[in-house]
Amino acid sequence: MPPRTDLNALADEDFRQRWRAWIEAHYTSPLRDPLHRLTGDAARGWLRAQHRDGWRAPALPAEHGGMGLSLRKQLIYQQELERFGVARPMDMGLRLLAPVLLRYGTPAQVARYLPRILSGDDFWCQGYSEPNAGSDLANLRTEAVDRGSHFIVNGQKTWTTMADDSSMMFLLARTSREAKKQAGITFLVVPMSTRGIRVRPIRTLSGESHFCEVFLDDVAIPKDNVIGAIGDGWTVGKALLGFERFSHGSPELARHALKVLRESARALGLSRCERFRERLERLACDVADAQALFESVCSTAMAGGDAEDDFSMLKLFNAELAQRIADACVETAGPVGGLVGAAPAMDLVHDLEWLAMTTRPLTIFGGTAQLQRNLIATRTLELPRS
């Protein structure tokens, strides 16, 4: 049954129990780990069920088809997903593009794209990074040549997450070389079925192929597919990166890694080791700090305050924390930590090697750790540029 219209009027515990019961009844995937990605039909079915029953888009305003939840209930919403171990669908359309559409899109574009994002009919990928232009997007080389009613786009994107499982892509392309580099970029959207788009998956250290290369050869993109003004893609793209860093700022992955560390230590009989307990509690304090920081930044942003500079701090802190905890898992397990797969003979139910490998990219995607430190230094601390 669909939830009541005004979920914010529910007591927190009533909301929690209602959402928990719905998850338990409708999440059918065997993947029970927020570090794993939910893909393909499983992801589409999960998001469509949420949309059907009114549990889709907790932060999106109700007037645009979302739930319009308060910050407190958004946090409960996320806590229950983590508690049940729901794997993450790569919902870039909702997390990244929807806020950009509401800020920069025309009413026609919002009406065209947003309903299909919410319904799960379109899955989106992000065409930002390129060879030699990852975190430094001002140096991107993908070029869009003006042909009157449309652009002809040529170039290459890389590390494009889930490009092989997406029906749409939003991308940045250079539309002018006459102005300074940041001023000649345009934000475009395009169906992945468009002639001239080729996708090649990249196999990673974790044994997965969620990252891809995307090649664009004479791809025709109508000018109606420009979000914001032509040449204003740097502004639109930076706003989207802020939303991305904000979404990466949730401590859910660090919390999950800490749970793995506790359970693995218990299985290995290390819970009574004073030295290990000290390390564990230090990491637990870091996770608590991450949660407090996340809630503070969320509260500021939802109250209309300027939290943009805090996004980099959130992203950096949580990415490095998750890596530190994953490293602790491997180190604590000793030689067993390097095994591929679980070690049931030692009561280890988690694949610690996979955990270490899958957390490696956290300090790369969404802007590298080095870039985040530069942003914090120059924008937050106002230190001089070298």
Catalytic residues: 244
Q: Judge whether 170 and 157 are in contact, CB under 8 Å.
A: no
- 249: exposed, middle or buried (C-beta count within 10 Å: 0-12, 13-18, 19+)? buried
C-alpha 207/C-alpha 341 separation (Å) is 11
Neighbour-count burial for 165-178, b at 16+ CB within 10 Å, e otherwise = bbebbbbbbbbbee
174: nearest Cα among 124, 137, 224, 222 = 137
C-alpha 220/C-alpha 43 separation (Å) is 29
Q: Judge whether 338 and 267 are in contact, CB under 8 Å.
A: no
Q: Which residues contact 348 (CB under 8 A, 6 or more apart)?
A: 264, 267, 268, 333, 336, 342
